Amino acid sequence: MNQIHLNNIISDDLAGFRLDQALAKLFPQFSRSQLQQWIEKGGVTVNQKKIIKSKDRVYPGQKVELNVTLENREEWTAEALPLDIVFEDESLLVINKPPGLVVHPGAGNLRSTLVNALLYYDTELQKLPRAGLIHRLDKDTSGLLLIARNLTAFHHLSQQMQQRTIHRSYAAIVEGSPKLMDTINLAIGRHPTQRTKMSVLMHGGRSAVTHFKVLEKFLTHAYLDIELETGRTHQIRVHMAYINHPILGDPVYGKSHRYDRLSEELSQQIADFKRQALHAKKISFRHPVTEELVTLESNLPDDLENLLQAFRKYNATSL
């Protein structure tokens, strides 16, 4: 068992939220049900006052603290699955996740996830929240993921994530021809009617900021460099779809397109691309022990690189 000591301040966008809802936003590394259990057991304080009711409301400026014991999670099974390790030391791991790999065990995906592989690689991760994962990637998004290997590193890196000092860049191919450079500052929350989706909300969502610049423009698509200032669920996919430039191949937020202006070969290659064309290519953070800046990059996976080369080839021949 390990002791967890974390704190944060209630922001304006969480005003009036239930305590458990606010904690789930402030500490996304824990599930809401786990947070509710800790509240009921007296492990949460607000302005140094112990609170045991999840439905109590919170207000801006209040200091919330978690002082709880994390039990071992024997229900997560360690599995000998391959890992593409970009960086590792005693404090952390950075993994290059392939497309199609689920990150965390859940309903319908209890085995063969990244977490199952991590627990086999390092059994100590069983003692950490979410096996040390500091952030997540969608199943069909590839790229870099940061994992802490002990509680000290977990706390340090989690604070960096909350303070927005971990910088993440993505490569993406989007539909259409967006501005050469832009910032999307639109709140995101759960879709009001389709609860498995997220959406831009004019009222009640959480602050979400995405920066992008166009690296290359093609006839019907564009290749973008995207930087996250915040890290909301599906943030890039939701923001790009909202400005009518969804990520190519996005099955949830994209739209069906016909590409009459493209060659039959390229149109078929686009149709055969069965995931969102999104890759977490770069991450930068302060090392939890040395405080040195660590910057790591990942090459595009073959499927995305091949698609990009096909666009380049067609763009050159169509001029």
CA distance 202 to 101: 33
Q: 274: which 2 tokens?
A: 């069965």
- Rama region for 134: left / alpha / beta (φ>0; ψ in -120 to 50; rest): alpha
Token look-up 């319908």 returns 108
Q: Are strands 293-297 and 209-217 parallel, antiparallel or unpaired?
A: unpaired
Q: 277: which 2 tokens?
A: 């064309």
Give the strand order in the sheet containing 63-70.
Answer: 2-9, 63-70, 44-46, 49-50
CA distance 17 to 179: 36
* Residue in 12, 56, 138, 260 annotated catalytic: 138
Active-site residue flag, 138: yes
Q: Report phi then psi at 280, rounded to 5.
A: -80, 100
Instruction: Please say whether the beta carbons of 143 and 97 come within 8 A.
Output: yes
Distances (CA, A) of 187 to 68, 207, 209, 292: 31, 4, 8, 32
Instruction: Please say whether the beta carbons of 142 and 304 come within 8 A.
Output: yes
Q: What positions carry a catalytic annotation?
A: 138
